[in-house]
Structure 1
Amino acid sequence: MQTESDATDALVIGAGVVGLSIALALQDRGLTVTVVDREGPAAGASAGNAGAFAFTDILPLASPGMLRKAPRWLLDATGPLTIPPAYAPAIAPWLFRFWRACRPAQVAASTVAQTALMDLSKAELEPFLQATGTLPMLRKDGNLQVYESEAEFETARPGWQVRAAHGIAFRHMGAEEMAELQPGLSPRFVRGTFTPGWYSIADPRLYTLALAERFRGRGGRIVLAQVGALAPQGDGVEIAVVGGPALRAGKVVLAAGAHSHLIARSLGDRIPLETERGYNTTLPPDAFDLRTQITFGGHGFVVTRLSTGIRVGGAVELGGLKRPPNYRRAEVMLKKAQGFLPGLRATGGTQWMGFRPSLPDSLPAIGASRATPRVLYAFGHGHLGLTQSAGTARIVADLLTGRPAALDLAPFSPQRF
């Protein structure tokens, strides 16, 4: 097959926040880099996420607590977690792996691994933002997790004890202190926990586009194309492009989010990635005087202040890549938000749906393909792609340039399944 002659040192598949962060880190190591994406920069979950660097969110989604909540949530077609009945047979193997990952020993191991990646990502974030000229976009407004009853708060307390053991700062609050921190919160919330170490970005789409511009400014090239397959070829990798000439690179990083596992199959790697479809509505900036990000954990969504608006979104719909969006889910979250924040003006909003790439044990896949060390995987971050982007970029740059990894990568091995 004919390939483009201008081969590059490294080709990154995916122009989301993870892929572009990796591309910039590789440029810093002196490599020539090309990024390939089916839609272009910030076209997927990197554009519509909640904008949080959730470094305190060390507990895996796969946990006994989630197993306790799931049956009740699944009964509500527009609730925090749902699986369309027609999709249930297709997702059954993933759900079995998720159930196995909820065992206490596995949860403990996943928490240790997640914490290590969070610590690295937090340490790398501000130097990365400084180097890319995006530091002014960083906010440190914290996060307020709210509870509707003492019982709900007590159920959450063990999770906070785990965070405390890992040195994460937080402060439990009563209704009066919460009202001082965030005026306008409904009195139905009687307890809360504030985590000051929960950062955010002014707008995730604008941030990702700024990374793309920085990458191009350093001589990087972004190609709009759909990658169909990868094939080791001598001292490089051939990248088959749907409807176009193949590309060639010395090394490849696969960071294509929810589509990554489909490409990995071409190398014989069958990685159980599932798609969490997330929904949100972004309201005008003056829709509410939001002082901190608020997590309504019992309802599975957050409200976030961005430079471009107030974003109400979250929840999990395990429905794959092909089903049409069910924007009723966004409408239900917005209606709940009106009740939880009585002063919220819910008009003039824009709805969105995107795909979060999730693996059963809540950890991403970071490491080499079994077919060749010239292809590295960096996908499956679930809700934490933005949060873990700088740390993942550091790891991948180290691996591709022969430096030792900054943490134990065994828990993140693409072959662990």
Structure 2
Amino acid sequence: MNASTDQRPEIVVVGAGVVGLSAALGAQARGLSVTVLDREGPAAGASAGNAGAFAFTDILPLASPGILRQAPRWLLDPLGPLSVPPAYAARIAPWMFRFWRACAPPRVEAATRAQTALMDLSKAELEPFLAATGTLPMLRKEGNLQVYESAAELEAAQPGWRAREAHGIEFRHLNAAEMAAIQPGLSPRFTHGTFTPGWFSIADPKLYVLALAERFRANGGRIERAAVTALRPEGEGVAIETEGGPRMAGQVVVAAGAFSHRLARTLGERIPLETERGYNTTLPTDAFDLRTQVTFGGHGFVVTRLTSGIRVGGAVELGGLERAPNFARSAAMLKKAQGFLPGLKAEGGVPWMGFRPSLPDSLPAIGRARASRRVVYAFGHGHLGLTQSPGTARLVADLLADRPSAIDPTPFSPQRF
């Protein structure tokens, strides 16, 4: 073995978001030497601006008959919960066709089983992972309140609640007075609600990911700023092309979020990853007396209490990686939130836009590349990157150590498309 091989890291993880750093820490726990490469550094992307929820009760895939029923109405509003910029419509059409096919009931049933398995694994792994990384004090168990504007809207949501009930997920339906006891200050337009006590969150997603980065470094790991442009199997390792020059690794984990499919393409794989551009506004901490996360499902956004403030965000803009942000979308959500929470103080907010990496069947790609078993993919978690990061870290660590998978890996195969 030559000197350069002796010095190269055993594992290189591409991506310093919550999935990449969780995977890197999982690999370290198996005794592997790990370096993380990221073009901007830790918590620079979607991991910094999400709603902070460990949404283990969200076992239903986004691709479902329910979303098909709502999508036409939402698409009519350019600032609504779902939008596709006209200039991007032709480019995204093949992905939308795959999404439509994934909404067929048999496929939804299979995706729900797979989603449930990954959620259960992630929930089981979460607290041991937080304890091992020194981040357990950041965990909150404040529940989630889903609100409805009519009995009919609640009734339309019943298939999803029945599926959760069958899986043993605890929830209770509420009237307006019961909702007010949990979360005062809601508009009287919301007449019904459902409270899920087993909904966890993190005090602040950006601070959490930065804490993971610090623990990774403390464990002997290296995080380097480097834009990775291509991967190539070479001998007993993987050649990594970066803008700063080439390097080698024994194995590579691709966890670069919405940019991951570009690296897969350099290995000859076309994985249909698209970008859900999510928007939010983070208000000062005293903007509202928020006691639980509130989901306005009919309008596609949530309001969350974080260490950094009150975050109003969500919605989906299928617009790719290159278009400039349309912050009118975050402003529209904030205006709605003021109507839904009449005491909300909307001054001093900071808008944000981030890229959520989404595959058309709502399941992530976790598994080996076709071109080389030394490349492992871990991307495409959509809205659930934080939620599924502990389970993904376990699955990736098992792959890197060549151990049996904790759950059936077949539904998450990168080659399923």
Give TM-score scaled by structure 1 length. 0.99
Q: Which residue of 2 aligns with 1:88?
A: 89
Output the amino acid matched with 1:240: E
Q: Which residue of 2 aligns with 1:363?
A: 363
Distance 1:335 1:247 in 2: 49
Q: Which residue of 2 aligns with 1:407?
A: 407
Q: Give 1:83 shift.
A: 0.1
Q: Which residue of 1 aligns with 2:200?
A: 199
Q: Give 1:308 shift.
A: 1.1
CA displacement 1:259-308 (0-9 Å, x = unmatched): 00001001111000000000000000010000000000000000000011
Q: Which residue of 1 aligns with 2:302?
A: 302
Whether the 8 Å CA contact 1:253–1:376 is kept in 2: the answer is: yes
Relative to structure 2, which stretch is displaced further, 113-122 or 3-12? 3-12
Q: Secondary structure at the match of 2:393?
A: helix
**Does structure 1 residue 144 correspond to structure 2 residue 145?**
yes
Q: Secondary structure at the match of 1:287?
A: coil
Q: Give 1:5 shift.
A: 7.1
Instruction: Give the superposed CA RMSD.
Output: 1.0
Q: Secondary structure at the match of 1:25?
A: helix
Matches within 5 A, 1:163-182: 163-182=164-183
Q: Which residue of 2 aligns with 1:187?
A: 188
Output the amino acid matched with 2:111: S
**Does structure 1 residue 119 correspond to structure 2 residue 120?**
yes
Output the amino acid matched with 1:248: M
Q: Alpha carbons of 1:4 and 1:79: their partners in 2 closer, same or farther (altered >3 Å)?
A: farther
Q: Which residue of 1 aligns with 2:156?
A: 155
Q: Give 1:223 shift.
A: 1.0
Matches within 5 A, 1:378-417: 378-417=378-417
Q: Give 1:163 shift.
A: 0.6
CA displacement 1:324-373 (0-9 Å, x = unmatched): 00000000000000000000000001000000000000000000000010
Distance 1:224 1:299 in 2: 38
Q: Which residue of 2 aligns with 1:234?
A: 235
Whether the 8 Å CA contact 1:4–1:246 is kept in 2: the answer is: no
Distance 1:163 1:324 in 2: 38
Q: Secondary structure at the match of 1:56?
A: coil
Q: Which residue of 2 aligns with 1:63?
A: 64
Distance 1:318 1:328 in 2: 15
Output the amino acid matched with 1:250: G
Distance 2:110 2:228 in 1: 34
CA displacement 1:63-97 (0-9 Å, x = unmatched): 00000000000000000000000000000000000
Whether the 8 Å CA contact 1:144–1:193 is kept in 2: the answer is: yes
**Does structure 1 residue 103 correspond to structure 2 residue 104?**
yes
Instruction: Provide structure 2 residue ranges, at least 5 long, that are not aligned to the other structure.
Output: none
Q: Which residue of 1 aligns with 2:134?
A: 133
Whether the 8 Å CA contact 1:267–1:371 is kept in 2: the answer is: yes
Residues matched between the structures, number: 415
Relative to structure 2, which stretch is displaced further, 244-253 or 309-318? 244-253
Whether the 8 Å CA contact 1:35–1:221 is kept in 2: the answer is: yes
Whether the 8 Å CA contact 1:280–1:312 is kept in 2: the answer is: yes
Q: Which residue of 1 aligns with 2:53?
A: 52
Distance 1:313 1:399 in 2: 35
CA displacement 1:147-200 (0-9 Å, x = unmatched): 001111100011100110111110110001000000001110000001111100
Q: Which residue of 1 aligns with 2:26?
A: 25
Whether the 8 Å CA contact 1:175–1:190 is kept in 2: the answer is: yes
Output the amino acid matched with 1:144: L
Matches within 5 A, 1:317-356: 317-356=317-356
Q: Give 1:4 shift.
A: 8.6
Q: Which residue of 2 aligns with 1:223?
A: 224
Distance 1:376 1:200 in 2: 28
Distance 1:4 1:342 in 2: 62
Output the amino acid matched with 1:378: A
Distance 1:198 1:111 in 2: 18
Whether the 8 Å CA contact 1:4–1:245 is kept in 2: the answer is: no
Q: Give 1:399 shift.
A: 1.1
Q: Give 1:247 shift.
A: 1.6
Q: Secondary structure at the match of 1:280?
A: strand
Q: Give 1:6 shift.
A: 2.6
Q: Give 1:402 shift.
A: 1.5
Distance 1:239 1:197 in 2: 42
Output the amino acid matched with 1:54: A
Q: Give 1:323 shift.
A: 0.3
Distance 1:7 1:267 in 2: 21
Q: Secondary structure at the match of 1:268?
A: coil
Sequence identity (%): 75
Distance 2:308 2:229 in 1: 35
Distance 2:208 2:187 in 1: 32
Distance 2:247 2:164 in 1: 45
Q: Secondary structure at the match of 2:376?
A: strand
Whether the 8 Å CA contact 1:73–1:80 is kept in 2: the answer is: yes
Output the amino acid matched with 2:133: T
Q: Give 1:26 shift.
A: 0.5
Output the amino acid matched with 1:69: Q
Matches within 5 A, 1:210-289: 210-242=211-243, 244-289=244-289
Distance 2:5 2:255 in 1: 21
| Runs of 4+ displaced beyond 2 Å | 3-6
Q: Give 1:403 shift.
A: 1.1
CA displacement 1:386-417 (0-9 Å, x = unmatched): 00000000010011101100000110000000
Whether the 8 Å CA contact 1:4–1:247 is kept in 2: the answer is: no
Distance 2:227 2:247 in 1: 11
